[in-house]
Structure 1
Amino acid sequence: MTQEVDLDAVIRQRIRGLRLARGWSLDALAARCYLSPSTLSRIETGHRRIALDQLVPIARALGTTLDQLVDAGDDEDVVIRPLPAHAPGRTTWLLSRDRALHGVTVAKMRIEPQREAATDQLGVHPGREWFTVLSGTARLRLGERTILVQAGDAAEFSTMVPHAIGAHDSPVEILTIFDQDGERAHLHVTDDVTPT
């Protein structure tokens, strides 16, 4: 019974939150879902039991689905427990679910310093990339330029410019966001990558 009461409270908060996010008064939402403002007020405050025949027009008026409005959710849809994937000189942890953020992938990478020849291959692909340095110093190669990006700094660039990210002098950890093309170019699993 407690879970049902808690879910009712979540649904009420979602209705009120979505209404306020749109800048609507109770009257404005009531007009859109054909309920009285007093009924909506009592639903939001918990003074009226929520009925399915009321939730459907409320969800429609708020631009959401009934499923989204009543989804109980749990910690498993919130907490991501990334597993490291190893490649020579690089460890990657995927920090987002399958393109959960509108087609982008978030990853943490630890890059070990390597001989310059090992990082001479510059990649090119459509889109843009962004990263911030968590620790160490990143060496960003953009065409003929080499830019050192310190801990706490971020970089954003067009990926149509030939580019590579490496470690400068010591290991570097970065947090990066890739679009679909960037993910395919930088995180595509190959035979030399072994998840652990």
Structure 2
Amino acid sequence: MTQELDAGQSIEAVIRQRIRGLRVARGWSLDALAARCFLSPSTLSRIETGRRRIALDQLVPIARALGTTLDQLTSPTSDEDVVIRPEPDCAPGRTTWILTRDSARASIVAAKMRFDPAPVGELGVHPGTEWFTVLSGTVRLHLGDRVIDVGEGEAAEFDTMTPHAIEAHGGPVEILSLFDRDGQHAHLHTYRDGGR
């Protein structure tokens, strides 16, 4: 019984914070929100500060006035909504951790990748743009007939219709990369099949 009450109280505290946060983000005073949801400013103040329990018949007009839904205002939070615990996907010379929760549906996918030194294979092309930043080590980026070293803390962005490949230069390298759907398919699936 105590655990249920504690859980209810924490959800109510989140709702209070969301109401106040949305109100402040819009630059509204208590009076301004009260006028939009037909509650008194003192009632809203007591709701936000926790001196009054929140009733469902008050939440509906508050949510409407704030331009949100009751579901969004009352949805519970948990660590699982915030923390991503990626599983490594290993292939010869490369390990990838997908950092986007629902990568199959996302338009942009973030991935951390670790490359070990290995000979560069055939340069690849695919539609889109690629972006990466080097977390540690030095990347040797083969871009058409150019070779560009990208050091720790530096980033690179290039058109992926230019033949390209990433090489770990002088030791292992870790990068954080963003892929659009074409890039995700071309790179992550190609790497799985042993290519670079």
| TM-score w.r.t. length of structure 1 | 0.86
Please give the secondary structure, in 2, of the residue aligned with 1:18: helix
CA shift, 1:179, in A, is 1.9
CA shift, 1:61, in A, is 2.2
Amino acid at match of 1:182: G
- State yes or no: 1:161 paired with 2:162: yes
Aligned counterpart, 2:110: 106
Aligned counterpart, 1:34: 38
Q: C-alpha distance in 1, partners of 2:164/2:187?
A: 11
Q: C-alpha distance in 1, partners of 2:163/2:36?
A: 52
What runs of 5+ residues in structure 2 fail to find an aligned partner?
Answer: none
Amino acid at match of 1:124: H
Please give the secondary structure, in 2, of the residue aligned with 1:169: strand
Amino acid at match of 2:74: V
Match of 1:124 among 123, 126, 141: 126
What runs of 5+ residues in structure 1 fail to find an aligned partner?
Answer: none
Q: Deviations over 1:144-179 (max 9, x none)?
A: 322111112122233343332221132111111112
Amino acid at match of 1:30: A
Count of matched residue pairs: 190
Q: C-alpha distance in 1, partners of 2:162/2:36?
A: 49
Change (3 A) 1:91 1:10: same
Percent of aligned pairs with the same amino acid: 66
- State yes or no: 1:136 paired with 2:140: no
Aligned counterpart, 1:84: 88
Aligned counterpart, 1:96: 100
CA shift, 1:84, in A, is 0.9
Aligned counterpart, 1:176: 177
